[in-house]
Amino acid sequence: MVNAHDLLWGMTPAHLPSDAPGWALEAIGAGHPVVVRRAMAEPGQVAVGVRGRLREQRFATAMPLAAVQRSVAPEALRDAISPRDLPALRALDQLRPVLAQQTWGVTGSAGFELATGIEALHAMSDLDLLLRTPAPLDRRDAQDLLAILDTAACAVDLQLQTPFGAVALREWAGGSRRVLLKTARGAHLVLDPWQAVA
């Protein structure tokens, strides 16, 4: 079972479509993992994204599940330590005690770097986190958590993973009645991210 934001190893250049850019072939050829995307895929496949060195280098494709040799979930990276000194990594150090009682993990550039040792972060990078919230999070609690995250060493983008998709903590803590729930079938404006989308 793979989930959005998991890192997967085992994809080869042969799995890429003919229109894949050269940088994607290079990344896969070098043995870099791909990241599971929130999208539908054919049976036996998983929707993934290939990361390049540059922010704009992102390529959406699919990978055969049978090719997966190793997977790393965001939660497996929360205690990973990097020798580098960057705001995103300092923010991670600051927030570990705050989130210690929760089921959470590291995604985005920080997660990729911590999992691979490949430098993906820079001084202006945000810290991307995922918080598993199987039960509803009260909006006041969301506001309190956001206030703590906003004291971190860099901007923090935390996604609340509900049973039906993901919603940005910042949005759930905000004043809008409806929030954007990201699901494998697309994004939907919902009143309650913990309810199935009709």
Digit-coded pLDDT (tens) for 124-157:
999 999 999 999 999 999 999 999 999 999 999 9
pLDDT averaged over every residue in the chain: 95
pLDDT band at 99 (very low <50, low <70, confident <90, very high): very high
Q: If you average pLDDT over residues 26-44, what whole number do you get?
A: 95
CA 173 to mean position of chain CA atoms: 19
**Interatomic CA distance for residues 127 and 13, integer angstroms:** 30
Structure token pair of residue 46: 């998983």
Q: If you average pLDDT over residues 27-31, what whole number do you get?
A: 95
Residue 78 predicted with pLDDT over 80: yes
Q: Supply angle C-alpha 139, 142, 147, rounded to 5.
A: 130
Provide the sign of the torsion angle of the four alpha carbons 69, 74, 75, 81, taken in this order. Answer: positive
**Interatomic CA distance for residues 161 and 104, integer angstroms:** 9
Q: If you average pLDDT over residues 159-169, what whole number do you get?
A: 97
- Torsion, Cα 90 93 99 103, to 10 degrees, reads 100
Contact, 194 vs 164, CB < 8 A?
yes
User: pTM above the 0.95 mark?
Assistant: no
Residue 121 predicted with pLDDT over 70: yes
Q: Which residues are catalytic?
A: 126, 128
Q: Where are any strands of DSSP class E within the chain? A: 7-9, 34-36, 45-51, 58-64, 70-72, 104-107, 127-132, 156-162, 165-168, 179-183, 186-190
> What's residue 198's pLDDT?
67
| Beta carbons within 8 Å of 53's beta carbon, 6+ residues apart | 23
**Comparing C-alpha atoms, which of 137, 114, 140, 139 is closest to residue 127?**
114
Residue 158 predicted with pLDDT over 90: yes
